[in-house]
Amino acid sequence: MDVKGVQAGSLTEYRADWEKMLWISVNSYITIKVFQADELSGELRVDPQGNISMPLIGTILVKGLDQFQLEKKLAAQLGEKYLQDPQVTVTVKEATTQRVTVEGEVNKAGVFPIQGDISVLQAVALAGGLSNLADPTKTVLFRKQGSSMKAYHVDLDQIRKGQTRDPYIRNDDRIIIARSGSRYWLREIGSIVTPYRFLTQ
């Protein structure tokens, strides 16, 4: 199985690396320690715009970064003007948990926590990839919009070939991959899905 550049042999490694990271999101609670600079260290809450504010640096966009990326970003900005070779440690003490449900013809259906930007193909990878019975051209993304639920047709084959974009998923999205030759698709799903081009990020 090949899911957006993730080969079958490297899928386990990809999932293991993903699980080690904690992505920073709105309302995350993080600790920043700058070695020998207590005035720059402290505990911060990410604001609704995804920013934090630090002495010297000011406002910094941190939403979507993992702790290691933020360490590098802060070290670079502090080292540019203020400190020589700054040593920065970031700990995500409280991360906002989001989730996606992946069902149907995948090898490990279930509900998966998501942090940061995760695309449809990456969500499928977290579910172990497509089963041998899957029809990648018949995938549905269910997304709640206000008080209603929208269903969007996603063609995984076209995404793999670069013919259409790989949309990012949102919290509580539900992805269903149909079985090849399934009559359920024609009878139930085919009549309610919205064309892929109307899927908004």
List, for residues 146-192, the tens digit of each pLDDT value.
778 888 889 999 999 999 899 888 888 999 998 887 655 544 454 45
- Residue carrying the six token digits 């998966």: 112
Length of the chain: 201
The identity of residue 82, as a single letter, is: Y
Q: Structure pTM?
A: 0.52
The span from the CA of 103 to the CA of 110, in Å, is 6
Q: What average pLDDT does the chain have?
A: 80
- What is the H or E stretch that residue 148 is in? strand 148-154
The span from the CA of 65 to the CA of 22, in Å, is 8
The identity of residue 30, as a single letter, is: I
List, for residues 35-71, the tens digit of each pLDDT value.
999 999 999 999 888 899 999 999 999 987 888 999 9
Does residue 190 or residue 129 have the better pLDDT?
129
Q: Map out the domains of the chain with their CATH numbers.
A: 29-94 (3.30.1950.10), 97-198 (3.10.560.10)
* Strands of the 148-154 sheet, one edge to the other: 110-114, 98-104, 173-179, 134-145, 148-154
The dihedral sign for the CA sequence 189, 191, 197, 199: negative
Phi, psi at residue 37, to the nearest 5°? -145, 70
Residue 109 has pLDDT above 90, yes or no: yes
Q: What percent of the chain has pLDDT over 70?
A: 77
87-108 mean pLDDT: 86
